[in-house]
Chain A
Amino acid sequence: MNAEPAIRQHAISPQPGQKVVEARGLGLTFHTNDGPVQALSNVDLSVARGEFVSFIGPSGCGKTTFLRVIADLEQPTEGAISVNGMSPEEARRARAYGYVFQAAGLFPWRTIEKNVALPLEIMGYSRAERRERVARTLDLVNLTGFERKFPWQLSGGMQQRASIARALAFDADLLLMDEPFGALDEIVRDHLNEQLLQLWARTTKTICFVTHSIPEAVYLSTRIVVMSPRPGRVTDVIESPLPKERPLDIRETPEFLEVAHRVREGLRAGHADD
Chain B
Amino acid sequence: MTAIAGTVPSTSASPLHRRLAQGKTLPILIVLAALLAIWYAFTVYLNAPWQIDAYERAGTEWTATDLVRDTMAQERPVLPSPHQVVAEIWQTTVGTRLTSKRNLFYHAWITLSSTLLGFGLGTALGILLAVGIVHNRAMDKSVMPWVIASQTIPILAIAPMIIVVLNAIGLSGLLPKALISTYLSFFPIVVGMVKGFRSPEAIQLDLMRTYNASGRQTFFKLRWPAALPYLFTSMKVAVAISLVGAIVGELPTGAVSGLGARLLAGSYYGQTVQIWSALFMAAALAAVLVGIVGVAQRLALARMGGRS
- From A118, which residue of chain B is reached at the shortest CB distance? B221
Q: Are A97 and B210 in contact (CB under 8 A)?
A: yes
User: Is B201 part of the binding interface, using a Cβ–Cβ cutoff of 8 Å?
Assistant: yes
Q: Are B206 and A101 in contact (CB under 8 A)?
A: yes
Q: Are A99 and B213 in contact (CB under 8 A)?
A: no
Which chain A positions have C-beta within 8 A of B201?
A: 103, 105
Q: Are B307 and A152 in contact (CB under 8 A)?
A: yes
Which chain A positions have C-beta within 8 A of B226?
A: 107, 109
User: Is B304 part of the binding interface, using a Cβ–Cβ cutoff of 8 Å?
Assistant: yes
Beyond A111-B305, A118-B221, A122-B221, whether A105 also contacts B203 by CB under 8 A is: yes
Q: Are B210 and A92 in contact (CB under 8 A)?
A: yes
- From B305, which residue of chain A is reached at the shortest CB distance? A150
Report the interface size for chain A: residues with CB under 8 A from the other chain.
26
| Cα distance, A121 to B213, chains bound together (Å) | 10
User: Is B19 part of the binding interface, using a Cβ–Cβ cutoff of 8 Å?
Assistant: no
| Cα distance, A105 to B211, chains bound together (Å) | 14
- From A73, which residue of chain B is reached at the shortest CB distance? B206
Which chain B positions have C-beta within 8 A of A123?
A: 211
| Cα distance, A151 to B306, chains bound together (Å) | 11
Beyond A109-B304, A109-B305, A121-B221, whether A103 also contacts B210 by CB under 8 A is: no
Beyond A105-B204, A110-B305, whether A71 also contacts B217 by CB under 8 A is: no
Which chain B positions have C-beta within 8 A of A156?
A: none
| A interface majority secondary structure | loop
Q: Are A102 and B225 in contact (CB under 8 A)?
A: no
Q: Are A71 and B203 in contact (CB under 8 A)?
A: no
The proximity string for A residues 62-99 relative to B, scoring 1 for CB distances below 8 Å and 0 otherwise, is: 00000000011100000000000000000011010111
User: Is B265 part of the binding interface, using a Cβ–Cβ cutoff of 8 Å?
Assistant: no
- From A119, which residue of chain B is reached at the shortest CB distance? B211
Interface residues of B in 192-245 (CB under 8 A from A): 201, 203-204, 206-213, 217, 221-222, 225-226, 228
The proximity string for A residues 141-152 relative to B, scoring 1 for CB distances below 8 Å and 0 otherwise, is: 000000000111
User: Is A108 part of the binding interface, using a Cβ–Cβ cutoff of 8 Å?
Assistant: yes
Beyond A107-B225, A152-B307, whether A93 also contacts B203 by CB under 8 A is: no
Q: Are B213 and A107 in contact (CB under 8 A)?
A: no
Q: Are B217 and A108 in contact (CB under 8 A)?
A: no
- From A172, which residue of chain B is reached at the shortest CB distance? B210
- From B212, which residue of chain A is reached at the shortest CB distance? A93
Would you give the shortest CB distance from A173 to chain B, in whole angstroms? 14
Which chain B positions have C-beta within 8 A of A105?
A: 201, 203-204, 207
- From B217, which residue of chain A is reached at the shortest CB distance? A122
Would you give the shortest CB distance from B60 to chain A, in whole angstroms? 72
| Cα distance, A123 to B226, chains bound together (Å) | 21
| Cα distance, A123 to B210, chains bound together (Å) | 11
Sampled A-B contacts (27; CB under 8 Å): A71-B210, A72-B209, A73-B206, A73-B210, A93-B212, A95-B211, A95-B212, A99-B210, A101-B203, A101-B206, A102-B203, A103-B203, A105-B207, A107-B225, A107-B226, A108-B305, A109-B228, A110-B305, A111-B305, A121-B221, A122-B208, A122-B212, A122-B217, A150-B305, A151-B305, A152-B305, A152-B307
User: Which 5 residue pairs of A and B lie closest in terms of their CB atoms, listed nearest first?
Assistant: A150-B305, A109-B304, A105-B203, A101-B203, A99-B210
